[in-house]
């Protein structure tokens, strides 16, 4: 069911909510669109851009978190999560919400974060979600979806928490009408955007084919790997900006005698990530380390977790200091 309300009603409701939640939403900032803490000016929220600079994972899996105390329970709302980021939560949930070895810190953040997904009504040069069968509008892993339509906002719930949220708005008398469907114009836009992304990326292999391409490149396409690795500076930006990269290192705080541990993001692109005490390092050779990210994303993680480990957001391409285009690498391996 879709709930329609006037934008002015939604904006004033949001302002009232910022007392109960830390609300993050996409704003324009120095030419970039990224999540920022929301205080005021709800009319400046950018709902329908392509992906934000920061991937959604940082709200659930912060760069650095102390994991030996009780986690603080803070209600957070993230508005404007995009489909590529939402799809990445499949893998995150499988890794961190594992029944036997549950990461309670991730779980609590997940449970206390209300996620509102929004459609992409514009497309970045590097967006290629549709190649991996992801549509450019929210279909899963969020509590609510939101679409702006002229002077209206249309909400729909996907989870129990989303339902509760909607019933609260309904209770406040702000809902104008309920309808079984979205306006035709929105459906049309969704199709157009999807077609645009598909067209721009028509030469790229889908996830299954990419898996084969990368798998077969091991030991056979060293030249390609070496060529592209030559401008990689092992900065790890591709990993930190990736919505599916989950790697971290557990560190003791440097307080002798105190049992405190910090879970800190880590990246296989950093030298020594897999180095063993014996001195042996499976990723010692630079091109093998560079290749590891591709093997992880298209072969190993999908095989182990039966879910995508690249959702086609394109951030690793945008962010690479070495100007390496991941998709160009895949195409070069497929030739």
* Contacts by 284-290, CB closer than 8 A, 24 or more apart: 286/229, 286/232, 286/234, 287/222, 287/225, 287/226, 287/229, 288/225, 289/229, 289/234, 290/225, 290/228, 290/229, 290/232
How far does CA 311 lie from the centroid of its chain?
8
Closest CA to 103 of 87, 92, 114: 92
Shortest separation between residue 266's beta carbon and ligand FAD, angstroms:
9
Asked whether position 275 contacts ligand FAD by CB under 6 A, the answer is yes
The smaller minimum CB distance to another protein, of residues 51 and 246, is found at 246
Binders of ligand SF4 in range 247-276 (CB under 6 A): 247, 267-269
What is the Cα–Cα distance from 46 to 52, expressed in whole angstroms?
10
The smaller minimum CB distance to another protein, of residues 181 and 208, is found at 208
Asked whether position 319 contacts ligand SF4 by CB under 6 A, the answer is yes
What is the Cα–Cα distance from 283 to 272, expressed in whole angstroms?
8
Binders of another protein in range 233-272 (CB under 8 A): 246-261, 263, 266, 268
Asked whether position 64 contacts ligand FAD by CB under 6 A, the answer is no
Q: Please list the residues that pair with 152 across neighbouring strands.
A: 6, 149
Q: For strand 144-149 and strand 152-157, is the pairing parallel, antiparallel, or unpaired?
A: antiparallel
- Binding to another protein by CB under 8 A, coded x per residue (else -) over 162-191, reads ------------------------------
Binding site for ligand SF4 (CB under 6 A): 232-239, 241-247, 267-269, 293, 296-297, 310-316, 319-322, 324, 326
Binding site for another protein (CB under 8 A): 67-68, 95-96, 98, 101-105, 218-219, 246-261, 263, 266, 268, 273-278, 280-282, 296, 299-301, 303-304
Binding site for ligand FAD (CB under 6 A): 249, 272, 275, 277
């Amino acid at each position: 069911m879709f709930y329609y309300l006037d934008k002015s009603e939604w904006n004033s409701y949001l302002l009232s909510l910022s007392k109960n939640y830390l609300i993050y939403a996409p704003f324009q900032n120095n030419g970039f669109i990224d999540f920022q803490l929301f205080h005021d000016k709800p009319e400046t929220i950018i709902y329908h851009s392509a992906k934000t600079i920061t991937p959604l994972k940082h709200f659930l899996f912060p760069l650095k978190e102390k994991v030996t105390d009780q986690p603080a329970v803070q209600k957070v709302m993230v508005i404007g999560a995009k489909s590529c980021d939402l799809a990445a939560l499949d893998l995150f949930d499988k890794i961190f919400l594992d029944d036997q070895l549950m990461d309670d810190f991730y779980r609590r953040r997940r449970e206390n974060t209300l996620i509102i997904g929004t459609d992409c009504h514009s497309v970045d040069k590097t967006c290629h979600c549709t190649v991996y069968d992801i549509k450019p509008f929210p279909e899963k892993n969020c509590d609510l979806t939101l679409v702006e339509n002229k002077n209206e906002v249309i909400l729909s719930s996907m989870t129990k928490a989303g339902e509760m949220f909607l019933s609260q708005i309904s209770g406040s008398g702000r809902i104008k009408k309920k309808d079984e469907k979205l306006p035709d114009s929105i459906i049309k836009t969704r199709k157009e955007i999807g077609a645009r992304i598909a067209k721009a990326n028509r030469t790229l292999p889908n996830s299954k084919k990419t898996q084969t391409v990368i798998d077969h490149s091991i030991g056979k396409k060293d030249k390609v790997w070496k060529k592209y690795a030559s401008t990689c500076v092992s900065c790890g930006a591709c990993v930190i900006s990736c919505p599916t990269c989950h790697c971290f290192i557990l560190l003791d705080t440097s307080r002798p005698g105190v049992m405190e541990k910090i879970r800190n993001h880590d990246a296989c692109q950093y030298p020594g990530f897999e180095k063993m005490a014996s001195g042996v390092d499976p990723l010692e050779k630079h091109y093998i380390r560079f290749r590891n990210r591709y093997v992880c994303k298209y072969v190993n993680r999908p095989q182990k977790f039966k879910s995508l480990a690249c959702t086609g957001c394109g951030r690793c391409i945008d962010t690479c200091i070495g100007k390496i285009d991941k998709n160009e690498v895949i195409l070069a391996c497929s030739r």
